[in-house]
Amino acid sequence: MSKKIYITTSLPYVNADPHLGHALEFVQTDCVVRYQRLIGNEVFFISGADENSLKNVLAAEKAGVSVQDWVNKQSDTIYRFKDAYNISFDDFIKTTQLRHVEGAQKMWLSAKEDIYKGYYEGLYCVGCEDFYREADLVDGCCPEHKTKPEIVKEENYFFRLSKYQKQLEEIYQDNQIGIYPSSRKSDIYNFLKEGLRDFSISRSQTRAHNWGIPVPEDKSQAIYVWFDALCNYVTVLGYAKNSPLFRAWWEDESTEIWHFIGKDISKFHCIYWPAMLMAAKLRLPSKIIIHGFITSEGEKMSKSLGNGLNPFELAKEYGPDVLRYYMLREFSLAQDGDFNRITLLERYNKELANGLGNLLSRVTTLMEKNGGRVKPEFNLLSSAIEETWQKYNEAFSEFKINLAVDSFLQLITKADAFVNEKQIWKIEDKEQLEQFLSSLWLILANLSLLIEPFMPETSKKIKESLGIKNEKKEDWSKTTFAVKKISALFPRKQ
């Protein structure tokens, strides 16, 4: 029975050009989205850009342009991931859009019972848009951005997070919100163990440089970035006006809600966001999937550190499918991974050029020599295909995306071994040859599906070569397919 799943990425800040680390989240999320669609589930996938951050204001001032012009340009750059990496999101929210402004203000009013005004003095990191305790600093600096936080003294509004301490403990003890990978749960338990403190959810318009969403009923204050930005997950659906989209994809209890985020913002999504939802009397997300970082020489890629690799130049250099494959193959959700051109080239040549590409070329050449028409009625490799799908589905059920790659690489190895063992190019018996080619056609056809979430364009090319148009998998054995030889899909690189 098919499911409905609402899937989101986090919203990147637009204070500077994005780096390859941003591509990782887009690609991992899109891979899962495409897998869910592949197995018949209905998915609504959204992304966007956080335009209300103070960091954006400071970046615009430094560049000598208006804030609106700055965020427009930078948000358009974030949107470029859609084409550059073949990301299949259904909607893209900008937090200056009216639907978001009205929705964030509605969320504020809905949570009003847990909001109060108070005076605050603390150490504030503009890069993190968060306050730190002295004990959290490393050599007096923010552990994330390596900069000294500024002392902020201000009267603003607070959210009564401490009220939800026990409820949040129960939520994670009972797995009401699933955390993936499970190793990330310890971070959540550590946040809770320290004891939850109420947090600031507004700033004065002076400190906000008159940028951001005004607090309802108090125009002297702007809504603080995390209370503002987190609302995007409901505002993009039309929460402000209780739209049919919102009712279908958030309020409908049969819909699952999955958030994909980076580990540096897990506190905000796993602690702040559920508390805000409870205060506003909205349902909780089903799963929060937390990924690590792509590092550069061991350091997290960061706009402030200036060590990020340009994701658009890399996509042009290698092609989106190759980069998607490398990131999904090389990096597990549970760990950080260092981007390495040598490893990328090795994987490309061994697994794509010599592996998938070589198998495709060999088999389609054999089919073309045999008349170019295949009716896949025989399957001598059915057990290998079934085992592959079982491992593949199990990997995706735990968001172990890199293990899903292992499963179809093993199928490629088995298919190559079958071709070599049977020496198919020497077979003269027509019936036997047709049985072998039928079995190999089914291997390639299944591979075209297995790789679709990873390399969507390559998947299309394989289907075209095999003559697959709109035929469903269960109808393959009833159809005769016209096969064309495919070669140099992945030419070797030096």
> Which positions are annotated as active-site residues?
19, 22, 125, 128, 142, 145, 300, 303
Closest CA to 412 of 358, 490, 343: 358
Cα gap 335→356, rounded to integer Å: 27
Q: Which residues contact 114 (CB under 8 A, 6 or more apart)?
A: 159, 160, 163, 279
Give the H or E element holding residue 481: strand 481-482
Q: Are 409 and 358 in contact (CB under 8 A)?
A: no
CA distance 309 to 305: 12
Spatial separation of the C-alpha atoms in residues 213 and 221, rounded to whole Å = 9
Task: Enumerate helices (H) and strands (E) in the chain, giving the number of each.
Answer: 20, 18
Amino acid at residue number 420: N
CA 6/CA 246 separation, integer angstroms: 11
Query: E strand or H helix at 383, and its extent?
Result: helix 382-397
The answer to whether 137 touches 149, Cβ cutoff 8 Å, is yes
